[in-house]
Structure formats: C-alpha cells, structure tokens
Structure 1
C-alpha cells in the first residue's frame, strides 16, 4: 500500500479523506481491467464509475464549482491501480469541463448523463497543424441561418470513436488568433462528423482523428458566447492540468511500491538489493520526487478550490513537475527490476508506457515552461 500520510496535510478536509478511502475501496474491488479491447474496457469503466457515484465529481451541479482536490485524489488513486481507469474518469471531466463551467441549462442535460455514466464525452481541441498552438486553430464555424456550419479536422482526440458527444473548438472569426474561437457541443451522431482514423499508441487508449464536413449545428450548440472559445478552453485546462499531475503522481507511487517490493526480496546468497547504499539512494530520490510533486499538485488544487480565479502558474508547475518527476521515478523503478523491468506483464513496464503521454497532452512540458516563464516575467 502506498504511503497515505499526505492525506493529513492541511490541503485536505475530512470529506476528501473519506473520498480517498471510498475510491481506494472501489479500485481494490474493480481494478485492474483487461486492456485487450480498450474501447470495451472504457465503456465498462464509465458505466461502473457512474454506478458507484464517482463520476458525480467529474462535473459540477448548477451553482456549484468543481472541487479540484477531489478530482486530483480520484485520478491519483485510479492511476495507481489502472491507467485506463484514470483515463475513463478523467475524460468525463475534461470532455464536459466547458459545460460544467459555461453550459446552459439545456446543455447541462448532457452533463447529467456523463456524470451518471450513461454517455461518454470527448474534448476536441488539438488539430493536425496546430498541436498545442490553440491560437492557430483552423477548423471553421461559419454562421448560417439558424446556426453554424463547421469544417475542419481534429486529431489525437481522446474517446474519439466511442464518445457520444464532443466539446469542439472552431474559428468563428470575431478577431484574429485566439480571440476568434468559439466552443460548441457536438453530438457524435451529427451528420458530417466522421472518424477517419483510429490512432494506436504505446499505452492503449481510445484515440481518433476526426473530420467535420459541413456539420450543421444550431445556435443552441454554442457554449458561452461567440469568440470566447479560447477563454473557455484555458479555463477548463486551468482546472484539469493539475489533475494530470495527480495521475502522474499515482503512477509514481505505484512505481515506488513495485520497486520497494522488488529490492526487499531475499536474494540467492543472502541479503537484499535494499542492503546496498546505492539502491537506498535511488529509493530516497524517488520518495523525494513523489513528495515534491504531491505538494505542487495539491497546492494548485487547494488554491483553485480556495477561490482563485485563475491558477495557470500553479497548475503549470504541478503538471510539469509531476509528469517529469514521475517519468524519472518510473525509469528508476524499471532499472531496479533489471530485465524484468522491460518484460510485458510486469507493472513497471506498463507504467513506463503509461507515463509518457502525460508529458504531452493538455499542454506539453515545454508549453508549461512558457506559461511559468511568462508568469515570472509578468
């Protein structure tokens, strides 16, 4: 069992500790799942997480706000048990984050379904030619009588191909660059939306390249106001970037657990790997990285929950440090396993594949460095 003493830090309230125990108990009964069919696994995970009531934390009721500490605790715990379970939970929150923060009462009907596990959501922001450069989004949403006509492409879209709806960002042209984007609610069965490619990556997740060809949406599909798309996207990422750091933290904690079990096994000839000071030094570095990451993640979450309008700097620091540190921790755990570290079926091999994407999605590490540097210079 991973160290749980961090739950006594002043960032948390009794309700958070109770939630952590609830998620731990659920995860112990249900995880890990078979990743052989990632689509089927994600559908089942969403349904099970909804039935357990855990997905109610992925969105906010009318008049309430998302509790970021709860999101982080859930993601950390799920990631420690099963990366695909973390993915399934996280995408219900990220996919509907714009609706939680800016949606109308009619749009929030979809939120009720995703929080119950009866619908799967996707967040369609990334494009083939833009990547992290949201300001250069090329997908267009042309005003037509009664609504909008959308054309363009989105890629590396999580839950692409299995989602029931997407929040999609397109250029409406109110101003150049980032100020000319808008956000829309797009049901997956809308004519003109197609999945042109399913994308296979090193850690199986449902991902797809989407194409929009003369997709017609009514005025009611617009989230917030026209031209507010960049603000909406950044507001969502302001919340969920910290949770990416929490998922990385869960992976790192699992890696340390696996390493501790490995180095304390009796060896032929007597003693253990843990008897060697160099191994002890590695373990110390891993524990230090984990605690430092946890402090940054839960500082960012606590700051947002305490009423800060924006936590771009804190969230960027949390995501950057936690994901990079987790990569180092997992790499060390793999090294301590020797040949078994790269052998399929061992936890550290799976963790090594799972962690890599977290340094890219929701703003790559270098993007986070830019965010932090601008904050320091400003």
Structure 2
C-alpha cells in the first residue's frame, strides 16, 4: 500500500482527499499493470471506462461537463499519480484526454468548447496534441508545417511525429506556421478532425512501453476558417500555456511509478531471504530504500507545490512545473532502477511489475520537455530573478 500521509499536506482540500481515496479504490478493482498486444483497442477501452466512471470530467471545465470551474492541476496530478501506480496505459489514456483538449479549454471559442469538450469528458471522443515534428523535437519553435490562407479557410502541408493517440484520435490540436517570422512567431493552433481530407497516418511507431504513437502527414489538407484555435500567430504561446498546466502532471505520473516501485521493492526486501535474515535487515538494502524514499518525498513536495501555485494564488508556474517535472522524472528513473536491482534476475523478467515500470518510466524524461530543456527553463528563471 502506497504511503497516503501526503494527503494531509496543506496543498490539498477535502475534495482532493476524497478524489484520491475514491480513485485508488476504483483502480484497485478495475486496472492492472499488465496489458495485451492490441494497444489501440486497450486505449479505446480505457478511455471509455474512465469516461463512464466520471474521471475524465476532471479534464474539462465545469461548463462543458467537467468538475471544476477551471482545470485544477492538483486534481489532474492526483489522478495521474494514482493511475500510474496501477496502470501506465490508463495514465496515458487519461493524460491525453487532458492534453489533447487543454488548448481548447484555455483558448477555444464557445462553439469549439461545446463541440469537443463534452464528448471528451464522457470518454466518447479521443483527443491528441500534435506539436513535435521530425526535424524539431525540443526546439518546437523550429516547426516547418505550414497553414496558408485558402479561400475562407486554410491549406496545411507538413508532418508531425511521435504524436500520442496518433491513428486512434478523433481530433488533433495541431500547431502550424501561418507566417514567415522566425522562431515562435507566426505559429497558430488548429483543431483537425481525424477524417479531414489530406491527413494521413503515415507510420505507427513502436516504443519501449507500447502506446498509440504515429507520424502524421498533411498533404494539401484543407481546413475551414473556424478550425483556427485562439489567435492567429499566438499558437506557440498557447501550446506553452497548455504545457504549463500539464507538465506538472507528468511529474505526478512519475511519482506514481516511483511509489509503486518503492512498494514493490519494500515487499521484496521484507520477504527475500539473505543468509540468516532478509534483505530488509541488510545495511546496503536499507541505504537504497532510504534514497528511494527521499526521491519520492521530494518529488511529491515539488509536484504538489507547483499544482497549488497554479490553482490557489493563480500564478503562472513555469519555473515550478519545470522543477517538479525534472526532479520527479529523474528521481522516478532512479527509484525504478533501484527496485529492478533489488529484484535481481526477476527484475527484468516479463510479467514482473518492476519490469513494466522500468519500461513505462523512461519516456517521461523526454516528452513534454526533455530534462535538458527543463534545466534551461529553471536556469533562465533563476537568472531573471524569478522565485528569488
């Protein structure tokens, strides 16, 4: 059983505590870390299941079927942490419903919100966020996909890659260059329905922890004028504002993986015989467990501080979210690796929870801003005096 004492921290209210308890009980009954070979079918089923149970209502504002008036980062983080402890794929399914509609929640028109958000909250529509390109990963502002005026709408050409839910999504929030200014200037956001003519799922991508991922090609794809999301030329800022909300939750998912790894390692240490005693009585094992506890506790403090800053004082938390994501993802990698080591040969055996966690946790240090990028964000904020 994962430590729950953190729920007593002042970052949370009673509603958050009920959410964590109710979701944990639901996950224990409904989810597993082990999955079959048809990842597309499983993701579709998980989205539907999460929707029926009401958990996806936290991904949209209350006016469109959600729980909170605005997106509540602490709730999103608690949900991702809890789901990740029980099922990496369920965490993925939930996260993409939030990220894939976050820009719509923040910047969409009333018509766009009314069309796209309620079915996402019900688990009836699968969402995706299309920012990364073959030639621009961490340097997202270097994108080359273009959207040019075409009659009353837009004509789009280019490609996106490593797009989560690529191939199974019902809509994509797409970022493309609508002007010729350098860098982040001239980028706009669009909502693209999956059946748009000119949109091709060019390649499905198989990765360490299987998820629906794809490369998308756009060949003279024509969009209506009302596909524009937010202001023309403000798309990059809209993407970064969306990531400011959801980057903290990546740290929370990492925290969930780390807590599960710590639980598995603790149980192993208590049960595994070593000479006349158990692993838990060995000083080397105790030191390793202490380091794991330290990584978990400090990650939790950073994650939920970042969420509280966004939710309560309403501050932009770019610096704090970067700190949380960097420390939580790096720390989770250390914790999971230590758990695998404590299991010995069993730690890399298919079917063991720690083996699954080892595959699940690695990508989190890359997506939504690699660790190297988070260090740049933190250093720049520090040098500018933010938080000093």
8 Å Cα contact 2:309-2:315 kept in structure 1 = no
Equivalent position to 2:103, from 98, 101, 117: 98
Q: Give the superposition deviation at 1:176.
A: 2.5
**Counterpart in the other structure of 1:358:** 364
2:232 corresponds to 1:231: no
Alpha-carbon distance between aligned partners in 2 of 1:269 and 1:279, rounded to the nearest angstrom: 14
**Counterpart in the other structure of 2:377:** 371
Structure 1 residues 346 and 9: alpha-carbon distance in aligned structure 2, compared to 1, 3 A threshold: same
**Counterpart in the other structure of 1:282:** 288
**Counterpart in the other structure of 2:27:** 27
**Counterpart in the other structure of 2:175:** 169
Alpha-carbon distance between aligned partners in 1 of 2:99 and 2:22, rounded to the nearest angstrom: 22
Q: Give the superposition deviation at 1:309.
A: 4.1
Alpha-carbon distance between aligned partners in 2 of 1:90 and 1:10, rounded to the nearest angstrom: 25
Residue ranges of structure 1 left out of the alignment (5+ in a row): none
Alpha-carbon distance between aligned partners in 1 of 2:329 and 2:251, rounded to the nearest angstrom: 6
1:225 is paired with a residue whose SS is coil
2:91 corresponds to 1:83: no
Superposed CA offset, 1:116-167 (max 9, x none): 1000000000000011111111000001111110000000000000000000
2:71 corresponds to 1:70: no
Residue ranges of structure 2 left out of the alignment (5+ in a row): none
**Counterpart in the other structure of 2:216:** 210
* Greater shift in the superposed pair: 7-16 or 61-70: 61-70
Alpha-carbon distance between aligned partners in 2 of 1:89 and 1:250, rounded to the nearest angstrom: 14
**Counterpart in the other structure of 1:55:** 56
Moved over 4 A (4+): none
Structure 1 residues 29 and 187: alpha-carbon distance in aligned structure 2, compared to 1, 3 A threshold: same
**Counterpart in the other structure of 1:12:** 12
Please give the TM-score of this superposition, normalised by the length of structure 1: 0.98
How many residue pairs match? The answer is 378
Q: Give the superposition deviation at 1:285.
A: 0.6
1:10 is paired with a residue whose SS is coil
8 Å Cα contact 1:174-1:226 kept in structure 2 = no
8 Å Cα contact 1:68-1:305 kept in structure 2 = yes
